[in-house]
C-alpha cells in the first residue's frame, strides 16, 4: 500500500513508501482509507515534541483520523461488517491514517454521518473528540455559561464554537478580520480581533476557556475567568494533575509538575483550575457526534483538500496557521 512516512524525528519531509497492508487482529477492522485530515498533533509527533507522552518506531506513518470503508473484520468483531462506511481516530499506538489501508480497533470507529462525503467526515474525528471531551468530561459546560474559545476559525475552533452553542453556552472567540464572517456564521456571540484588541481587556467573568494556542495566549486567559473557572488546553504543557489522572510514573509526575510551575502559579493567583487534555479515541462519542451532524447541529468546515502524495505540502500549509477550518488529504476516491 502507499503511505506517507517519516524516518526520523525533525523537520524532514514526509516521503511516500510502499508498505505491507496492516494485519487485522481479532477485534480490528481493516479500512480502505478514502480521506484523512491534517492535525497539529501530526507535526508535533514529527518534530518529536510529544516523545514524553508517545514513543514510536521508525519509519512511521503519520495521520490521526480518517474515513473509509471496512473491507475486512476480525473474527471477534461484532459491531461492523464489510462494506460499512466509517470514520474514526485510532488509538495513539496505532496511528497511520496517511495510507491506503488502516487496521483499527472496532471500539475506535463509528459509522460515518450519512449526510457527509468521505472528505467531510475525515475532517471531524480528532477535533470532534477533543472538543467533546473538553466540554463534556472536563468543563461540564452548562446552558448559559460563558466560554472563550481561542482561534475560532481554526480546525478545532470551528467545531468547538458549534458544539458550545449546541450545549447552550455563550461563546466568545478570537479571530482575525478574515475569520470574522466564518465564526459568526458558526454562532459565535462575541468576536475579538486579536490583531487589534487584547481579549483580556475585553472579557471578564467567564466560566471557561478552551485553549488551542498555548504560550502567551494561555497565560493571559487566566485573567478572563471568574473564581473557580476552568481552562482546558490542548496546546500547552501537561501538569502534575494530568500525570496522576493518567496513572503515570513518579518521574513523569515530578517532571510535569516542574514544567508547569508557571501555570500552577497562575492557578493559585486567579483561583481557577487548569487541565491539560490529551484526547482519547472513542467510537461511542463519535456516534453522538454523528447524530449532531445528521441533525444539522454541526457542520464540517474545510479549507483545502490535497491528494495523499502532497501530504508534505498540506502539513506545511497547516503550519502557517492560515487555514480556516480543516485541511484534508484525499487518499483515494471511493468506487
Per-residue pLDDT, 253: 82
- Over residues 137-158, the mean pLDDT reads 97
Using the structure block, give the residue that is written with the C-alpha cell 470551528. 158
220 pLDDT above the threshold of 80:
yes
If one looks up domain 2-124+300-330 in CATH, what number appears? 3.90.180.10
- The reported pLDDT for the residue numbered 221 is 97
Q: Report residue 41's pLDDT band, with 50, 70 and 90 as the boundaries.
A: very high
Mean pLDDT of 220-230: 98
* Residue 215: other Cβ atoms inside 10 A: 10
Range 9-15 average pLDDT: 90
User: Residue ranges of the domains in the chain?
Assistant: 2-124+300-330, 127-276
pLDDT of residue 304 exceeding 80: yes
Query: Across residues 288-308, what is the average pLDDT?
Result: 98
pLDDT at 246 over 80: no
Second CATH level (architecture) for the domain 127-276: 3-Layer(aba) Sandwich (3.40)
Task: Quote the mean pLDDT of the chain.
Answer: 95
How many C-beta atoms lie closer than 10 Å to residue 254's C-beta?
12
Residue with cell 466564518: 182
Q: Is it the case that residue 335 has pLDDT exceeding 80?
A: no
Give the residue-averaged pLDDT of 80-97.
Answer: 97
Range with lowest mean pLDDT among 41-45, 156-160, 281-285: 41-45
- φ, ψ for residue 119, nearest 5 deg: -60, -45
Dist CA 330 CA 335 (whole Å)? 13
The pLDDT of residue 135 is above 90:
yes
Copy the grid coordinates of residue 42: 501530526
Which of the pair, 84 or 238, is modelled with greater confidence? Answer: 84
Band (pLDDT 50/70/90 cuts) for residue 16 is very high
Residues 6 or more apart whose CB falls under 8 angstroms from that of 133 comprise: 277, 279, 280, 282, 285
The pLDDT score that the predictor gives to residue 245 is 80
Whether the predicted pLDDT of 53 surpasses 80: no
pTM of the model: 0.94
Positive or negative, the CA dihedral 315, 316, 321, 324 is negative
Q: What is the layout of strands, in order, in the sheet containing 273-276?
A: 190-193, 170-175, 146-149, 206-211, 225-233, 273-276
Residue 317's pLDDT band (boundaries 50, 70, 90)? very high
Give every CB contact of residue 92 below 8 A, 6+ residues apart in sequence: 54, 281
Average pLDDT over residues 252-260: 81
State the alpha helices, DSSP H only, in the chain: 40-46, 118-122, 125-132, 155-166, 180-185, 199-202, 215-221, 240-245, 250-259, 261-270, 283-294, 311-319
Distance CA 119, CA 334 (A): 10
Q: What's the CA gap between 308 and 83, in Å, rounded?
A: 22
pLDDT of residue 192 exceeding 80? yes
pLDDT at 249 over 90: no
Return d(Cα 233, Cα 216) in angstroms, integer. Answer: 13
The full DSSP string for 47-103 is TTTTTTT----SSEE----EEEEEEEE-TT--S--TT-EEEE---GGG---SBSEEE
Amino acid at each position: 500500500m502507499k503511505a506517507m512516512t517519516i524516518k526520523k524525528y525533525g523537520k524532514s519531509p514526509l516521503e511516500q513508501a510502499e508498505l505491507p497492508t496492516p494485519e487485522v487482529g481479532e477485534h480490528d477492522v481493516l479500512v480502505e482509507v478514502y480521506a484523512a485530515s491534517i492535525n497539529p498533533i501530526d507535526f508535533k509527533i514529527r518534530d518529536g515534541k510529544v516523545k514524553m507522552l508517545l514513543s514510536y518506531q521508525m519509519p512511521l506513518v503519520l495521520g490521526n483520523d480518517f474515513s473509509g470503508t471496512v473491507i475486512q473484520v476480525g473474527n471477534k468483531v461484532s459491531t461492523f461488517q464489510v462494506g460499512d462506511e466509517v470514520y474514526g481516530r485510532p488509538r495513539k499506538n496505532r496511528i497511520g491514517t496517511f495510507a491506503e489501508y488502516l487496521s483499527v480497533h472496532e471500539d475506535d470507529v463509528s459509522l460515518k454521518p450519512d449526510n457527509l462525503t468521505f472528505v467531510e467526515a475525515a475532517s471531524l474525528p480528532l477535533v470532534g473528540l477533543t472538543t467533546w471531551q473538553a466540554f463534556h468530561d472536563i468543563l461540564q459546560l452548562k446552558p448559559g455559561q460563558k466560554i472563550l474559545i481561542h482561534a475560532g476559525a481554526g480546525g478545532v475552533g470551528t467545531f468547538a464554537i458549534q458544539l458550545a452553542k449546541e450545549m447552550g453556552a455563550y461563546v466568545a472567540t478570537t479571530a482575525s478580520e478574515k475569520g470574522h464572517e466564518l465564526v459568526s456564521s458558526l454562532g459565535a456571540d462575541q468576536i475579538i480581533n486579536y490583531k487589534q484588541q487584547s481579549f483580556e481587556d475585553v472579557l471578564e467573568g467567564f466560566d471557561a476557556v478552551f485553549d488551542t494556542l498555548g504560550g502567551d495566549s494561555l497565560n493571559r486567559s487566566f485573567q478572563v475567568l471568574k473564581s473557580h473557572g476552568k481552562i482546558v488546553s490542548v496546546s500547552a504543557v501537561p501538569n502534575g494533575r494530568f500525570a496522576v489522572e493518567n496513572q503515570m510514573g513518579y518521574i513523569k509526575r515530578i517532571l510535569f509538575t516542574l514544567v508547569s510551575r508557571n501555570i500552577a502559579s497562575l492557578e493559585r493567583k486567579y483561583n481557577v483550575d487548569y487541565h491539560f487534555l490529551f484526547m482519547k479515541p472513542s467510537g461511542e462519542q463519535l456516534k453522538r457526534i454523528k447524530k449532531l451532524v445528521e441533525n444539522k447541529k454541526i457542520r464540517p468546515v474545510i479549507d483545502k483538500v490535497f491528494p495523499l502524495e502532497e501530504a508534505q505540502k498540506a502539513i506545511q500549509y497547516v503550519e502557517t496557521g492560515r487555514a480556516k477550518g480543516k485541511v484534508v488529504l484525499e487518499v483515494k476516491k471511493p468506487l
